[in-house]
């Protein structure tokens, strides 16, 4: 009974609500709209359901409160609580004009409802160094249910950490302010021990507000607590500061402002323990170091090599998201160099394994990747949007290209070979994260557009530039041209065509038709074409074969042929190699005056 009483006082029991100073466990598995308010600091909330009456208990010995006090003292000793320091604007120098007005509105709404609320985390860190934060997070002592009730468009999300997304605006202009409740700092010994992970340990996680796996990684962290503990459970000192837009005060518990000025990344508490709690902190440390130009505190850097294997326990989806963040901060090149410096560029992210496979790397591939990362950094720093699909397509392109060439060499038709190569890369490098969703679909379309862009057919060029993914496909082609993998003239032609007037486009099409007409005709029986994309600038076999078929059709029509493959038989009686025709003339046009005009000269005469 004493143990159960201690658990209730620490917020782990299911009995009566704990005292205001004790952590409060969130009801993790109840429906979002029907969960009871569990915060004792706000007893006047009318929406909180009444608790069922409990039968009177027999008097307990006075030892129970003493045991609870001793337990609380021991727990407090384990928490790197720090000291609350309120820093005025005259010292921190944050420009209020850099603070998003929607984040200010969320803070103000919570404060007017009687709650504490602050801008928190990386936004405060960026404000201190004079940057305009990309995202704004808010921390409050209101529970997720209480936050949701204050905003018209607010949604409770998450299992590991229950937070609220407050949505402003609609469509592409919408903005999400993430609101989290102050969390208690709990030792792993106080958490539910789960033998498996998020998937295999679902039964053990059901109803648990605080749970860890066998390695100490936190699987659930939904026990509410005071701000001092919320600051202690954050990772780095530079991310554990709270900014009040109303008073312009920064609340700093762990010397975060001093570390920002010293450009130092320092974990709060014991670094090895903090990495075990969440191994992704290793990746976050690399990202912050690259983005901010900060160095590592020696104690923070020391446990990294021995804790890197713990990243294997992190869900693939979360690792994938962290990798995308790493490469889209506007400092992708420096992020990769930071990973290399700590030996994390191999064996952590499957996509980067493909990029930095020394056995398959070529100077052209490395130049292409560097160009793609530099182009991404440039767009981010210019305030332009960056699509993750484009960058990932660049990183995995040469993996796709190698598989494509191998399948063509084995006799596979170019288009199916490309599709099979893409599927194989998704399975090996991306898995179930994005290969089946929109991100994977966009990557696939960028790759599939490359042979079509190289073909540059006069009768399909206008339709090509109308495709939704044309711009991404063209930018990809331009990067290839920049490193000598595709003809520069080809990229320039598509740029001129897409941006030109109607008259300019027609002149470009006339030039293409003329070039096709003057191209030497291929012999009917010819050796197999190279099974590759022809990195020196040739079109792929399928596309080039289409152009050759058009020229062959011109010869057949001029001779009054019927369009079958009989004209392809060699003079020595060898069996003809069957070709796939790209277009066919209508029957009435074959004997007319324009029957011998060829593949690209008379589009109106096509079927």
- Give the residue numbers annotated as catalytic, written as ranges: 135, 137, 235
CA distances to 48, 161, 426, 546, 607 from 567, in Å: 85, 70, 42, 16, 22
Question: What is the rounded distance in angstroms from the CA atom of residue 176 to the CA atom of residue 153?
Answer: 10
Q: Buried b / exposed e across 91-101, counting CB within 10 Å, b at 16+?
A: ebebeeeebbe
Phi and psi, residue 27, nearest 5°: -75, 95
Which of 495, 529, 490, 533 lies closest to 512 in space, CA to CA? 490
Q: Helices (H), strands (E): how many in the chain?
A: 25, 15
The three-state secondary structure class of 210 is strand
Question: What is the rounded distance in angstroms from the CA atom of residue 193 to the CA atom of residue 215?
Answer: 10
**Cβ neighbours of residue 313 closer than 8 Å, sequence gap 6 or more:** 197, 213, 215, 217, 279
Angle between helices 438-455 and 388-409 (to 10 degrees): 60
Q: Supply the DSSP string of 12-73, one letter for each residue.
A: -SSSSPPPTTS-EE--TTS-TTTPPP--TT-TT-TTSPPPPPPPP-PPPPTHHHHHHHHHHH
Three-state DSSP string of 391-446: HHHHHHHHHHHHHHHHHHHCCCCHHHHHHHHHHHHHHHHHCCCCCCCHHHHHHHHH
Question: What is the rounded distance in angstroms from the CA atom of residue 235 to the CA atom of residue 263?
Answer: 16
Pairing of strands 175-181, 163-168: antiparallel
Contact 198, 219 (CB under 8 A): yes
The sign of the dihedral angle between the CA atoms of 74, 75, 79, 84 is negative
Q: Supply the DSSP string of 315-345, one letter for each residue.
A: -HHHHHHHHHHHHSSS-HHHHHHHHHHTT-S
Side-chain half-sphere of 426: how many Cα atoms within 13 Å?
20
Phi and psi, residue 140, nearest 5°: -150, 165
């Amino acid at each position: 009974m004493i143990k159960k009483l201690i658990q209730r006082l620490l917020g782990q029991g299911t009995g009566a609500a704990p005292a205001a100073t004790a952590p409060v466990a969130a009801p993790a598995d109840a429906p979002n709209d029907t969960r009871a308010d569990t915060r004792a600091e706000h007893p006047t909330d009318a929406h909180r359901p009444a608790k069922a009456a409990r039968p009177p208990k027999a008097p307990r010995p006075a030892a129970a409160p003493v045991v609870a006090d001793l337990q609380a003292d021991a727990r407090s000793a384990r928490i790197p609580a720090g000291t609350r320091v309120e820093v005025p604007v005259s010292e921190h120098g944050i420009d209020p004009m850099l603070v998003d007005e929607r984040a200010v509105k969320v803070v103000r709404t919570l404060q007017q409802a009687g709650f504490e609320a602050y801008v928190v985390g990386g936004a405060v860190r960026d404000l201190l160094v004079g940057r305009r934060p990309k995202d704004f997070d808010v921390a409050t002592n209101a529970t997720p249910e209480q936050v949701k009730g204050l905003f018209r468009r607010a949604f409770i999300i998450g299992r590991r950490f229950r937070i609220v997304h407050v949505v402003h605006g609609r469509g592409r202009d919408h903005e999400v302010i993430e609101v989290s409740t102050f969390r208690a700092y709990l030792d792993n010994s106080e958490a539910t021990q789960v033998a498996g992970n998020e998937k295999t340990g679902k039964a053990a996680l059901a109803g648990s507000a605080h749970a860890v796996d066998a390695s100490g990684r936190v699987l659930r962290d939904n026990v509410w607590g005071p701000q001092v503990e919320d600051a202690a459970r954050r990772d780095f000192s530079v991310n554990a500061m709270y900014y009040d837009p109303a008073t312009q005060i920064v609340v700093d518990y762990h010397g975060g402002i001093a570390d920002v000025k010293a450009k130092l990344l320092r974990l709060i508490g014991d670094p090895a323990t903090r990495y075990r709690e969440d191994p992704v902190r290793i990746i976050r440390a690399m990202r912050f170091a690259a983005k901010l130009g900060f160095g590592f505190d020696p104690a923070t850097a020391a446990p990294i090599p021995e804790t890197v294997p713990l990243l294997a326990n992190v869900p693939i989806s979360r690792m994938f998201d962290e990798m995308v963040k790493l490469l889209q901060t506007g400092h992708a090149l420096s992020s990769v160099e930071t990973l290399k410096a700590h030996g994390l560029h191999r064996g952590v992210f499957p996509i980067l394994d493909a990029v930095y496979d020394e056995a398959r790397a070529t100077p052209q591939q490395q130049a292409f990747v560097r160009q793609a990362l530099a182009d991404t950094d440039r767009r981010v720093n210019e305030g332009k949007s960056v699509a993750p699909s484009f960058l990932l397509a660049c990183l995995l392109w040469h993996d796709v290209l190698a598989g494509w060439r191998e399948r063509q060499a084995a006799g596979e038709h170019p288009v199916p070979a490309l599709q099979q190569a893409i599927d194989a890369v998704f399975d090996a490098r991306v898995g179930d994260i994005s290969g089946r969703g929109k991100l994977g679909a966009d990557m696939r379309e960028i790759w599939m557009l490359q042979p079509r862009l190289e073909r540059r057919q006069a009768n399909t060029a206008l339709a090509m530039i109308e495709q939704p993914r044309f711009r991404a496909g063209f930018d990809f082609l331009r990067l290839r041209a920049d490193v000598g993998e595709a003809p520069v003239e080809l990229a320039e032609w598509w740029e001129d065509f897409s941006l030109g007037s109607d008259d300019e486009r027609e002149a470009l099409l006339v030039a293409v038709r003329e070039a096709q007409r003057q191209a030497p005709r291929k012999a009917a029986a010819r050796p197999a074409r190279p099974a590759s994309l022809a990195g020196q600038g040739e079109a792929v076999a399928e596309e080039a074969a289409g152009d050759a078929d058009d020229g062959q059709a011109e010869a057949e029509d001029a001779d009054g042929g019927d369009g079958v493959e009989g004209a392809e038989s060699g003079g020595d009686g060898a069996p003809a190699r069957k070709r796939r025709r790209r277009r066919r003339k209508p029957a009435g046009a074959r004997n007319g005056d324009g029957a011998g005009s060829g593949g690209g000269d008379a589009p109106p005469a096509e079927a």
